[in-house]
Amino acid sequence: MISRKVLIIGGGQLARMMAQAAPSLGIEIRVLASPSDTSVLNLAEVVVGDYRNVNDVLQAAKGVDVITFDHEHVPRGVLEELLSAGHVLRPSPKSLELVQDKLHLREQLAKWGVPQPKWHGGPGNVKDMVRDFLRTGVAWPLVVKRSVGGYDGKGVWVLRDDSDLSSLDGVESPGWVVEEFCEFRQELSAQVARSPHGQGLAYQVVQTTQVDGICTNVIAPAPDIDEATGIAAQRLAMELASKSEVTGMLAVELFCMPDGQLLVNELAMRPHNSGHWSIDGAVTSQFENHLRAVLDLPLGSVKPTWPYTVMVNVLGVNPVDESVLNHVLAHDPGARVHIYGKEFKLGRKLAHVNVSDSDPSRALARAQHAADRLSGTIR
C-alpha cells in the first residue's frame, strides 16, 4: 500500500483542504489542532494540542514522514526542537524566518536586491522610527507593521498623518517596519511550488483585492496585465523560492505600480488564499502540490483548465441558515462552494466560492453573488 504520512501544524481551512486532496495520492494526514479547530474534525487524524508547546508538537510528530504548516506562528524554539529530534520540516525553520519576521524579510530582500517598498525598521521606539523615516523624504500616509505575529491585517496600521500615531500607543513589539504607502495599480500574487529536489512550477499570476488587509477576491489570471509583467512576476517568485530555499507552496504578494514596476509586499510559505481558485481552475490544486512538494514527489501540472477562475471569500456578516446554501446552489449550478466548517464570527473567513467562466467580469459577478448570500450580506 502506498502511504506517506504528513503532520500539519494548525487545523484551519488550509489543513482542511490539504486533507481533502491528500487521499488521492495515498497521503495520510495528521493535524495538530487546538480544541476549537472544527475545520479538520473527522477529516484527518486529529491530535489536540498547542503548537507553542514543544511536548505537544513532538508527540504529534511521532512516526510522520514530514511536518508542514497551516500557519506560520510556530515559535522558532519549537521548530528547532523538532529539527533536533530528527524531524523533517518543510519549509525549513530557516526559510520560515522570512515569513515569521517582517523586519527580517525586508532586510533579506534588500540584501538580495529584490524590489520592495521603501522602508525603515528595527527594534526600538516606533514613533521615533516614523519620524526618522519621514526625514528621508517619504511622505504620509505610512504603513507600520509589527515585525511578528500579524495576519489578515492584524498587526498592521495605516497612518494618514501625525495624529494617527496615537493608535500605536501601548502596542509592544520586538521590532517594527515602517513603509511607504504604495499607490499601486493592482495587487498581484505569484505562486510557485518548489520541491526539495529543486523542481519549481509557477501558477498563472493572479490579481488579489484586499479590504482592511483581508483578501476579498482573486481573479485568475490577473486581467489587464501585459504578458511581460506576468512573466516577470513568475520569475521573481521562482527566484525568491530558490533563494529562500522554500519547500512547498510560496505565495509572493506584489504591488504592481502605475509604471508596471513590481514591489514585493509579503510572502507566505504554505497554500495561500490567493491560490484557492486552483481547486477548480487548475489541473493540480495548490493543496495537492504543497503536499507533493513537501513529500518530494514530482509536482503536478499547474495549467489552468478555464480561461478565468474567480475566487470570492465568504467573510461572516450575518449568521445564515442552511436554506441559504440551497439558494446559492440552485441559483448557479456552476458555482463551486468550499465551506470551512467553522462557527460564525463577524468578519471570519467561513468559506470561499470559485466560479470559472470565459469572461472575468461575469465570473466575478457570479462568485460575488454566491459569496454575498453565504456571508449574509444579502438576506
* Footprint on this chain of a copy of itself (rule: CB under 8 A): 1-4, 16, 19-21, 23-26, 28-29, 38, 42-45, 280, 283-284, 292, 297-301, 303, 305-306, 320, 322, 324-326, 329-330, 333-334, 336-339, 341-344, 351, 356
* 123 or 334: CB nearest a copy of itself: 334
* 136 or 323: CB nearest a copy of itself: 323
* 3 or 163: CB nearest a copy of itself: 3
**Residue 27 CB, nearest approach to a copy of itself (Å):** 9
Rg (CA), the chain: 20
**Residue 178 CB, nearest approach to a copy of itself (Å):** 40
Cα torsion at 312, 313, 314, 315 (round to 10°)? -140
Q: Residue with C-alpha cell 464570527?
A: 345
Q: Is the dihedral of CA 128, 261, 191, 245 positive or negative?
A: negative
How many CA atoms are closer than 13 Å to the CA of 135, on its beta-carbon side? 7
**Residue 353 CB, nearest approach to a copy of itself (Å):** 10
* 147 or 286: CB nearest a copy of itself: 286
**Residue 45 CB, nearest approach to a copy of itself (Å):** 5
Q: Residue with C-alpha cell 495587487?
A: 187
Print the SS3 string covering 168-208: HCCCCCCCEEEEECCCCCEEEEEEEEECCCCCEEECCCEEE
Q: Do residues 134 and 195 lie in contact, with contact meaning Cβ atoms separated by under 8 Å?
A: no
**Residue 125 CB, nearest approach to a copy of itself (Å):** 44
**Residue 50 CB, nearest approach to a copy of itself (Å):** 22
Which candidate, 349, 371, 351, places its Cα nearest to that of 151?
349
* 258 or 333: CB nearest a copy of itself: 333
Helix 93-100 / helix 102-112 crossing angle, nearest 10 deg: 110
**Residue 75 CB, nearest approach to a copy of itself (Å):** 28
Residues comprising the chain, all counted:
379
* 155 or 307: CB nearest a copy of itself: 307
Phi, psi (deg, nearest 5) at residue 366: -65, -45
* 106 or 290: CB nearest a copy of itself: 290
